């Protein structure tokens, strides 16, 4: 079975990264992920630019693990679509000091410092911003948290970030873009594009994996 969709040759000068099938590790594979996969397959038919596919496993501030990355990849194989690279959201914390230091709007910086200090955790918008800035190369992945599906292949920062997300994430995405615009990396905001899909209907029912 072919588990990867063909796409144009990758070049560092014109590389896009496409995020799809975002999942919380305390949730089961569901219609929400299938909708994302179907959305990506549809738009891939119209894309002629070089790109790589990425997945972020949300394992931060969640309950006990329900699905592992290996089990998730097995499910993706059934839909004949695997990522080129993937990462765990919790690992993004390693770069939190870099993002916090980059915030140049005093009010915004105080808001995040206060939140982090009081909650002893990082908000979704903060970690999302790190994820996008890493994919664009504004924050270097010195800890190699972005893992390859092809052995030791190294992730190459892209020219533009595209995210295929459930419409539930709209609020977080707006806040993340606002945060990025408040940093010394503000130009990165123009290199990020979100494509939202509906999660109504079957999405409420998770699929039990065995």
pLDDT in tens, 125-163: 999 999 999 999 999 999 999 999 988 889 999 999 999
pLDDT at residue 200, as a whole number:
57
pLDDT at residue 6, as a whole number:
46
Summarize the confidence of residues 175-204 as an average pLDDT.
86
For helices 170-181 and 124-136, the axis angle rounded to 10 degrees is 60
* CA–CA gap between residue 187 and residue 183 (Å, rounded): 9
Q: Is residue 8 part of a domain?
A: no
Q: Is residue 2 part of a domain?
A: no
pLDDT at residue 14, as a whole number:
42
* CA–CA gap between residue 183 and residue 178 (Å, rounded): 9
Q: Among candidates 161, 167, 168, 169, which has minimal Cα distance to 130?
A: 161
φ/ψ (deg, to 5) at 21: 55, 40
Q: Is residue 95 part of a domain?
A: yes
What is the average pLDDT score of the chain?
Answer: 87
The percentage of the chain sitting over the pLDDT mark of 90, rounded to a whole number, equals: 64
* CA–CA gap between residue 123 and residue 209 (Å, rounded): 29
pLDDT of 13 higher than 80: no
CA angle 194, 200, 85 (to 5 degrees): 40
Summarize the confidence of residues 35-44 as an average pLDDT.
90
Terminal CA-CA length for the chain: 20
Specify which residues 67 forms β-bridges with: none
pLDDT in tens, 104-125: 999 999 999 999 999 999 999 9
* CA–CA gap between residue 179 and residue 23 (Å, rounded): 23
CATH number, domain at 145? 3.40.50.620
Name the percent of the chain in helix, strand, coil, to the closest 5. Answer: 45, 20, 40
The percentage of the chain sitting over the pLDDT mark of 70, rounded to a whole number, equals: 88
pLDDT of 209 higher than 70: no
Q: Is residue 11 part of a domain?
A: no
Give the domain extent around 56.
16-202
pLDDT at residue 1, as a whole number:
38
**What total number of domains does the chain contain?**
1
Cα torsion 33, 60, 183, 99 to 10°: value is -130
pLDDT at residue 202, as a whole number:
41
Q: Is residue 59 part of a domain?
A: yes
């Amino acid at each position: 079975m072919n588990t990867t969709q063909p796409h144009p040759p990758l070049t560092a000068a014109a590389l896009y990264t496409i995020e799809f099938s975002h999942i919380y590790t305390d949730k089961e594979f569901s219609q929400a992920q299938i909708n994302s996969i179907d959305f990506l397959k549809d738009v891939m038919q119209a894309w002629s630019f070089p790109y790589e596919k990425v997945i972020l496993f949300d394992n931060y501030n969640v309950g006990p693990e329900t699905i592992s990355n290996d089990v998730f990849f097995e499910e993706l194989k059934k839909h004949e679509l695997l990522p080129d690279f993937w990462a765990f959201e919790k690992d993004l914390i390693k770069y939190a000091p870099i993002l916090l230091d980059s915030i140049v709007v005093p009010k915004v910086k105080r808001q995040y410092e206060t939140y982090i200090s009081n909650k002893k955790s990082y908000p979704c918008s903060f970690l999302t911003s790190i994820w996008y800035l890493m994919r664009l190369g504004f924050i270097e992945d010195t800890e190699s948290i972005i893992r390859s599906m092809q052995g030791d292949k190294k992730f190459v920062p892209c020219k533009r970030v595209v995210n295929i997300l459930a419409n539930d994430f709209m609020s977080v995405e707006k806040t993340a873009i606002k945060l990025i615009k408040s940093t010394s990396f503000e130009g990165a905001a123009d290199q990020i594009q979100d494509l939202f899909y509906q999660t109504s209907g079957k999405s409420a029912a998770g699929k039990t994996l065995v």
